[in-house]
């Protein structure tokens, strides 16, 4: 289990986690028939016991996360099962914390529920692939959970980025262990108690769809940066995260809106043109999926010798040029920092989407109960 | 430090040391000390509010005060010192790393250098904040809620509005924990008798996978039997939600006042 | 030379009264010792002490010619002394019979194929030829008993510690088990409340009483 303690995460992250967790809990409980409570309790207890098992990994040790196995056994009911185990661990051992319960639940249970969905689909289509699918679920459960832990950390501040990366790297061996473990456990269950795994716990589809839809939209925010050197203007377009945007159309207009240049970025996402007048240059780029970015080169950044025609470079222009050259990386970096999508925007957005979805579901569940 | 993460310091002693596993789960903790006289709901709500307070403070002194309050609560709850310390020190390995890295990842005035890296004062400050917050919350949680009988905790959660099904699940889990744990220990012993040792290899992982699979099968069968027994006693698919008489009384009122006062004190600092 | 030598063993469970109180015992090669004693007298406990699953509070355990105290010492002992658990459900945990029987040999370093071959052979010797792919959990009590014995024998131990091996076996199966055990060269200690079985098998008897072992005259 992966327990983030209280005091690390920021309020928006805590809220997003709580919203997703509560939504998942509502769905999980709604789908949980009272007759199945003893079964789910067994699994929940198992999660607790699993924290006792330490596997040696070289000189250090790792312990089971187990959310893959829980997911393929319980589907949506993984939310309540994991919740109960987390509460018990927090209260009895001080693992994790109180306000982070929602985040910890989300980080473990969302991958678990996804595992359940995928596994059920596989089992239905190809019963013979059960063991392999379980192994994959084991690895995915760990990977996705740790990715979410890393996201929670990084969303709480840049200073946790290194730790977030560390989380991911150190869990690579755990993925292998968990895959072998889950495959074995599921193999035994499939043989000894056929019908327990993969009884069509239905759709985590909405959740999956939301996740996949939100991902690319956020991943493609375009950013633009340009600088001058004498009368030549050059710049880069890139996607958030730093990938250069290649083959994107760049339009340069003057303040009146007249198009001065129309260019396409090269393989490095770079473009350049020569300014022919000393006026503000508005540069804009537009990606395929409707994302756009703008940057303005002020007239004052261009040499004042420019307006009538191309002049011979004087001393002042040479100093400007060299300054511009030296400042350029700095400015580029600043722009990158400024425009980079913060991970908390991502998580916050996702949280809001899934949280609303959960809320709606929870409300509908209550309505059902009343009627 | 042991990565990926290590609960070993708390998990191991549980196996044998602490009065055979979690005998401590149901046993006698409740009713000890003044905290034991409080209504479980009071304790839960107080712990929640305290956590909220602590997490939202960003100065050292109020947080030191908070740790002090948590310590006082732990003393009032008569928590045993050593196990509690062990629990507080147990943080996931990577969390330890996250905090230890802070001085090097938070930009600011250089304050010290280690391993050829310069640590910033701001980073140290932030690491200290996190350690204070995490420990204050955990300590208060152990003092107010951890000292409670788990069954009482379940009932308190029910009366604080947690869904009935969730509480039933909680209570069933508590009931199974001991069984599961003992069964796990027995199977593990038998494996040891057949010269099994944990290694970094597939045979180990697979065997432990089988162990847990078997544990699941047996527990599921047991849960089937329990369900059958419940049916025999007239279970019709509905759990009655257990109602307990409220115990909210004068001590709770006093405690609520005291908590409110300490919260105000904490807010007024810094 | 004795295979096991126990001197002045004292043992009590953390939560209880002493179970063993200065027990002495030695097991020599080729012996088949019957261990008798009332329910709760500590027979199972003694076996667990001998293979280091429990540690005595006082006294020394010598096994296979060396004193044994640490976990590492006992790992060696467990490879050479096979313990049949009183409850087979504690012993069997793999999905299929063949995997369970191969588990021990693999712990001793055999490859998957070697372990499998040993397992097949052992099962055949016990007359369990068609059991390989049966699901362990779904066997009957008596069948589980035999499979559990197979898991122990597959490790080719030098000493067998059998905790109530005839428990739950029918008349024919018990006769077969008696014949099998009579044919084995290993030294063994047998806990059994089955007088007839003991009479056929044991070379001597020791009784566990009041936390000590005594040979009735
Ligand atoms: N895990 C344990 N914790 C505490 N006490 C135990 C434990 N196991 C056994 N005991 C106690 O130790 C004593 C010896 O138990 P043991 O199982 O060794 O007896 P036994 O001679 O094998 O009995 P039986 O003939 O019923 O199998 C008993 O009084 C028992 O209650
Ligand atoms: Mg016994």
| Residues A174 and A299 placed together within one structural domain of the fold | no
Cβ atoms of residues A93 and A52 within 8 Å: no
C158 Cα–ligand 2 center, Å:
22
| Residues A292 and A333 placed together within one structural domain of the fold | yes
pLDDT digits 0-9 by tens, C4-17:
999 999 999 988 88
How far, in Å, CA of C61 to CA of C25, rounded?
10
- In angstroms, the Cα distances linking A152 to A24, A36, A87, A325, C193 are 18, 32, 19, 38, 62
**pLDDT score for C118:** 95
B237: left (phi over 0), alpha (psi -120 to 50) or beta: left
Instruction: Please tell me which chains touch C, using 3 or more CB pairs under 8 Å as the contact test.
Output: A, B
How far, in Å, CA of B14 to CA of A94, rounded?
13
| Residues A127 and A63 placed together within one structural domain of the fold | yes
Compare all CA atoms of chain B with the CA of C16 and give the residue at the minimum distance: B19
- pLDDT grade for A322, boundaries at 50, 70 and 90: low
How far, in Å, CA of C10 to CA of C20, rounded?
5
- The CATH number for A106's domain is 1.10.1760.20
| Residues A194 and A208 placed together within one structural domain of the fold | yes
**pLDDT score for C188:** 95
The residue with tokens 């996190």 is B130
| b (16+ CB within 10 A) / e for B196-208 | bebeeebebbbbb
Last residue in a domain, options A199, A217, A235: A217
| Residues A242 and A263 placed together within one structural domain of the fold | yes
Residue A146: half-sphere exposure toward Cβ, Cα within 13 Å = 28
DSSP letters, chain C, are -EEEEEEEEEEE-TTS-EEEEEEEEEEETT-EEEEE--TTSSHHHHHHHHTTSS--SEEEEEETTEEE-SHHHHHHHHHHEEEE-SSHHHH--SSBHHHHHHHHHHHTT--HHHHHHHHHHHHHHTT-GGGTTSBGGGS-HHHHHHHHHHHHHTT--SEEEEESTTTT--HHHHHHHHHHHHH--SEEEEE-S-HHHHHHH-SEEEEEETTEEE---
| Residues A232 and A323 placed together within one structural domain of the fold | yes
**pLDDT score for B223:** 81
Q: Which residue has the higher pLDDT, A177 or A166?
A: A177
Ligand 1 atom nearest the C-alpha of C15 is 4
| Residues A209 and A305 placed together within one structural domain of the fold | no
Count of CB atoms situated within 10 Å of the CB of A282: 16
Q: What is the mean pLDDT of chain B?
A: 76
Could you tell me which residues are beta bridge partners of residue C10? C21, C58
Segment of A50-64, B102-116, B210-224, C144-158 carrying the highest mean pLDDT: C144-158
pLDDT digits 0-9 by tens, B213-241:
999 898 888 888 877 777 767 676 666 66
How far, in Å, CA of C180 to CA of C197, rounded?
12
Q: Is C135 on the interface with A (CB under 8 A)?
A: yes
| Residues A30 and A142 placed together within one structural domain of the fold | yes
| Residues A188 and A277 placed together within one structural domain of the fold | no
Cα A7 from chain centroid?
22
pLDDT digits 0-9 by tens, C102-152:
999 999 989 999 999 999 999 999 889 899 899 988 898 889 999 999 999
What the block records as the tokens of C153 is: 């024998």
* List of domains in chain C: 2-214 (3.40.50.300)
Cα B145 from chain centroid?
9
- Position A108 in a domain: yes
**Mutate which of C9, C37, C41 to test ligand 1's pocket (most atoms within 8 Å of Cβ)?**
C41
Q: Which of C13, C98, C143, C54 is nearest to B189 (CA)?
A: C54
Cα A44 from chain centroid?
27
3-state helix, strand, coil in chain B (%, to 5): 70, 5, 25
Q: How many domains does chain A have?
A: 2
Is C138 in contact with A192 (Cβ distance < 8 A)?
Answer: yes
Cα A65 from chain centroid?
20
From the CA of C193, which ligand is nearest?
Answer: 1
pLDDT digits 0-9 by tens, B5-56:
333 333 333 333 333 333 333 333 444 667 777 778 888 888 888 888 888 8
Q: What is the residue range of A183's domain?
A: 11-217
C142 Cα–ligand 1 center, Å:
23
| Residues A257 and A330 placed together within one structural domain of the fold | yes
Is residue A315 scored above 80 in pLDDT? no
Last residue in a domain, options A195, A217, A239: A217
- pLDDT grade for B90, boundaries at 50, 70 and 90: low
How far, in Å, CA of A215 to CA of B195, rounded?
49
B 197-236: CB under 8 A from C: 197, 203, 207, 210-211, 213-214, 217-218
**pLDDT score for C119:** 95
Distance from CA of B146 to the nearest CA of C (A): 24
Is A188 in contact with C138 (Cβ distance < 8 A)?
Answer: no
- Antiparallel, parallel or unpaired: β C58-63 and A249-253: unpaired
Q: Please name the residue whose Cα sits nearest to atom 7 of ligand 1.
A: C13
Q: Is the CB of C142 under 6 A from ligand 1?
A: no
Sequence spans of domains, chain B:
1-17+163-239, 37-147+245-270
Q: Is the CB of C37 under 6 A from ligand 1?
A: yes
| Residues A246 and A150 placed together within one structural domain of the fold | no
Q: Is the CB of C42 under 6 A from ligand 1?
A: yes
- Position A103 in a domain: yes
State pTM to two decimals: 0.71
| Residues A187 and A227 placed together within one structural domain of the fold | no
Q: Average pLDDT, stretch A16-31?
A: 93
What backbone phi and psi angles, to 5 degrees, belong to C2?
A: -90, 150
Q: Is the CB of C93 under 6 A from ligand 1?
A: no
pLDDT digits 0-9 by tens, B185-197:
999 999 999 999 9
- Antiparallel, parallel or unpaired: β C159-163 and C81-84: parallel
- In angstroms, the Cα distances linking B171 to A35, B151, B161, B176 are 14, 6, 15, 9
- Position A67 in a domain: yes
What the block records as the tokens of C213 is: 């072992």
**Mutate which of C12, C36, C38, C40 to test ligand 1's pocket (most atoms within 8 Å of Cβ)?**
C40
């Amino acid at each position: 289990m992966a327990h983030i303690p209280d005091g690390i995460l920021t309020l928006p992250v805590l809220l997003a986690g709580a919203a997703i967790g509560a939504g998942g809990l509502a769905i999980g409980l709604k789908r949980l028939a009272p007759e199945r409570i003893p079964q789910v309790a067994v699994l929940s207890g198992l999660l607790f016991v699993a924290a006792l098992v330490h596997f040696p990994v070289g000189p250090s040790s790792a312990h089971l996360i187990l959310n893959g196995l829980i997911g393929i056994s319980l589907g949506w009911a993984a939310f309540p099962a994991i919740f109960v185990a987390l509460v018990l661990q927090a209260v009895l051992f001080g693992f994790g914390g109180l306000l982070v319960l929602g985040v910890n639940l989300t980080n473990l249970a969302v991958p678990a529920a996804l595992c359940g969905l995928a596994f059920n689909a596989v089992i239905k289509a190809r019963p013979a692939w059960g063991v392999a699918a379980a192994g994959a679920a084991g690895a995915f459960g760990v990977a996705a959970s740790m990715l979410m832990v890393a996201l929670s950390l990084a969303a709480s501040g840049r200073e946790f980025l290194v730790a977030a990366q560390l989380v991911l790297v150190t869990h690579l061996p755990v993925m292998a262990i968990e895959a072998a473990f889950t495959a074995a456990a599921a193999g035994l269950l499939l043989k000894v108690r056929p019908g327990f795994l993969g009884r069509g716990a239905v759709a985590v589809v909405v959740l999956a769809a939301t996740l996949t839809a939100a991902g690319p939209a956020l991943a493609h925010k375009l950013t633009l940066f340009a600088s001058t050197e004498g009368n030549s203007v050059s710049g880069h377009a890139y996607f958030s995260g730093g990938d250069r945007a290649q083959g994107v159309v760049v339009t340069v207009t003057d303040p009146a809106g007249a198009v001065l240049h129309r260019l396409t970025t090269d393989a490095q996402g770079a473009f350049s043109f020569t300014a022919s007048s000393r006026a503000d240059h508005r540069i804009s780029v537009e990606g395929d999926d409707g994302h756009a970015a703008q940057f303005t080169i002020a007239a004052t950044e261009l040499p004042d010798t420019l307006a009538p025609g191309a002049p011979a470079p004087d001393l002042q222009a040479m100093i400007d040029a060299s300054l511009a050259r030296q400042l350029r990386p700095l400015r580029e970096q600043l722009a990158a920092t400024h425009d980079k999508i913060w991970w908390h925007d991502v998580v916050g957005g996702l949280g809001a989407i899934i949280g609303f979805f959960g809320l709606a579901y929870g409300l509908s569940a209550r309505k059902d109960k009343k009627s | 430090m042991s990565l990926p993460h290590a609960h070993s310091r708390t998990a191991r002693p549980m196996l044998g040391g602490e009065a055979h596993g979690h005998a401590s789960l149901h046993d006698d903790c409740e009713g000890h000390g003044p905290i034991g006289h409080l209504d479980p709901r009071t304790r839960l709500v107080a712990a929640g509010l305290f956590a909220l307070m602590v997490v939202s403070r960003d100065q050292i002194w109020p947080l030191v005060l908070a740790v002090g309050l948590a310590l006082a609560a732990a003393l009032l709850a008569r928590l045993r010192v050593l196990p509690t310390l062990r629990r507080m020190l147990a943080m996931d390995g990577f969390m330890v790393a996250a905090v230890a890295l802070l001085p090097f990842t938070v930009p600011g005035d250089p304050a010290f250098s280690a391993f050829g890296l310069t640590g910033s004062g701001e980073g140290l400050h932030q690491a200290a904040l996190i350690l204070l917050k995490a420990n204050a919350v955990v300590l208060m949680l152990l003092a107010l809620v951890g000292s409670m009988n788990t069954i009482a905790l379940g009932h308190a959660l029910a009366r604080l509005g947690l869904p009935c099904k969730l509480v039933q699940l909680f209570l069933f889990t508590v009931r199974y924990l001991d069984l599961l744990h003992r069964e796990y220990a027995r199977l593990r012993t038998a494996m040891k008798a057949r010269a099994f040792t944990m290694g970094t290899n597939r045979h180990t992982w697979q065997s432990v996978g089988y162990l847990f699979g078997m544990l699941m099968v047996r527990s599921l069968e047991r849960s089937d039997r329990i369900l059958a027994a419940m049916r025999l006693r007239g279970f019709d698919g509905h759990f009655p939600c257990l109602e307990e008489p409220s115990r909210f009384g004068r001590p709770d009122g006093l405690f609520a006042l005291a908590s409110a006062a300490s919260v105000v004190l904490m807010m007024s600092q810094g | 030379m004795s295979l096991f030598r126990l001197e002045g063993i004292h043992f009590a469970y953390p939560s209880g009264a002493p179970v063993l109180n200065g027990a002495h015992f030695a097991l020599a090669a080729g012996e088949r010792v019957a261990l008798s004693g009332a329910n709760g007298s500590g027979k199972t406990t003694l076996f667990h002490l001998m293979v280091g699953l429990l540690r005595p509070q006082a006294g020394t355990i010598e096994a296979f010619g060396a004193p044994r105290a640490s976990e590492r010492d006992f790992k060696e002992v467990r490879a050479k002394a096979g313990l049949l658990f009183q409850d087979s459900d504690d012993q069997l945990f793999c999905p299929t019979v063949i995997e369970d029987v191969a588990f021990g040999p693999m712990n001793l370093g055999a490859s998957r194929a070697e372990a499998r071959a040993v397992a097949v052979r052992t099962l055949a010797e016990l007359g369990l030829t068609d059991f390989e792919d049966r699901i362990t959990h779904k066997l009957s009590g008596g069948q589980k008993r035999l499979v559990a014995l197979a898991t122990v024998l597959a490790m080719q131990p030098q000493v067998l510690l059998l905790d109530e091996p005839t428990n739950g076996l029918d008349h024919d199966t018990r006769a077969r088990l008696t014949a099998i055990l009579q044919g084995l060269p290993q030294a063994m200690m047998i806990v059994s409340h089955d007088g007839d079985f003991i009479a056929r098998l044991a070379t001597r008897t020791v009784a566990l009483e009041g936390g000590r072992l005594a040979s009735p005259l």
